[in-house]
Chains A and B, each alone.
Chain A
């Protein structure tokens, strides 16, 4: 009798189960919780075409004031890491990191993203990828979320995309998100720019001849322990560009051959640069005047 009484509730339960299953199967999975925010995986296209690369993105939505980190987190923290699980024939490339921001105080500076960020992950597919029904892509994400304090979080995000032997249609629901994410990526530095880095005893002096004077320049080093993250970056405008003095990191005990990272000239002008470092004494040094002003 009790069983019978319970029966009317069953359709509701199975209905709920069906809804859950449907949610898991759609391209736009529901956001997963992380400390003080959510993470969501989205695809740029509705399906996968064997042999054609496609894009996924991880969208982090954080509570106000909370942040996560860039590839080089700066003085503290660590970047989000993803462990991918997916069918053979599909591989994930490195994350495309949007231009970071300087976060922190006068003595400790981190590089990261506050409030929200979308990380695009390019995916490669082999042409022999069988046009099976669908591919489930799972990302196991470890992320450190910080404001005044830091909380490590783990989340699993997944989506299922159908594999079709035809050009994949863009997903109109995620178009805006991907467009905005693309806009937040640093561009390649223009070919006609002349960039040089001079190694002085205490600093690297990055000189840019870029065809126009620049009063603003901020450099984000991709590699850790090259420059003092918290030091003021002193920019000197020149007729054809700028000169930027970057205090060396205390942890840098050996000379470096290249300085690689993101150069930001204005809110919508950020560039990837990779500049060979000239040895001390080789290039002209006219940066001495600025050195005293470097300490923060």
Chain B
């Protein structure tokens, strides 16, 4: 008898609680931890990077908004600048196999070599698990995490939501702004923006 009550209650509880558990990261809250395989073959665990600032960059090499950042050399410049200042920069590929932006490890390594991209690592996320964990909507969506593991920025790469290469030079880069301000011990003025770009090509 007891069991017949407990079981539906458990189901009800799971139904209620699950959305809360899988609810995406939010600015000001702890970043959800994950373990991923990088295109280099290494395993990357987010929480192993405590003590460092971490940048997550959602990537899709066929997306024109991503193309704007890479063809202008802007993304590579950001990666170089910030990794040199001790930031762990992870490019995340959440496209499902067969969809635009999906790349195998060697394809991604070839792409990075060709584009002279130097993130700390490119994380392969073909199941979209990391993408959903952070509720990534677009490429190039950007997330900045502080050394304590708190999300301090989530949103667009800059304030020019276009595919036009000419818009890169005059743009305010929200990632650099958040990192500069946080590193200077200041409050991040713009902690969240609409992450413009192409929708992340998840499996469903």
Contact = CB atoms under 8 A, between A and B. Distances in A.
Interface stretch (A15-23, A40-48, A105-113, A165-173): A105-113
Interface in B163-204: 163-164, 191-202, 204
Interface string B63-101: 111000000000000000000000000000000000110
B200 A108 contact: yes
A12 interface: no
Interface residues of B, number: 35
A34 to B, nearest CB: 14
A76 B199 contact: yes
A76 B191 CA distance: 19
Given A144-B163, A148-B201, A251 B155 contact: yes
A146 B204 CA distance: 17
Nearest to A224: B194
A251 B192 contact: yes
A224 B193 CA distance: 9
A151 B64 contact: yes
Assign chain A's interface to a size class: 20 to 34
Interface stretch (B23-31, B41-49, B111-119): B23-31
Contacts of A252: 192
B100 A149 contact: yes
B132 interface: yes
B82 to A, nearest CB: 22
A152 B201 CA distance: 17
A294 B192 CA distance: 22
Contacts of B27: 250, 253
A107 B132 contact: yes
A86 interface: no
Contact of B199 (A75, A224, A250): A75
B197 to A, nearest CB: 6
Contacts of B65: 150
A183 interface: no
B19 interface: yes
Interface in A244-283: 250-253
Given A149-B100, A151-B64, A251-B154, A78 B19 contact: no
Contacts of A77: 198-199
Interface in A91-148: 104-108, 110, 142, 144, 146, 148
B202 A105 contact: yes
A201 to B, nearest CB: 13
Nearest to B16: A292
Interface string A67-87: 000000001111000000000
A152 B100 contact: no
Contact of B192 (A149, A151, A253): A253
A107 B202 CA distance: 9
B138 A149 contact: no
A148 B194 CA distance: 20
B135 interface: yes
A77 B99 CA distance: 17
Interface of B: 16, 19, 23-24, 26-27, 62-65, 99-100, 132, 135, 137-138, 154-155, 161-164, 191-202, 204
22 contacts: A75-B199, A76-B196, A76-B198, A76-B199, A77-B198, A77-B199, A105-B199, A107-B137, A108-B137, A108-B199, A146-B198, A149-B63, A149-B198, A150-B63, A250-B24, A250-B26, A250-B27, A250-B135, A251-B154, A252-B192, A253-B191, A292-B16
In the complex, the 7 A-B pairs of residues with the closest C-beta atoms, listed nearest first: A295-B19, A76-B199, A251-B192, A152-B163, A75-B137, A108-B199, A149-B100
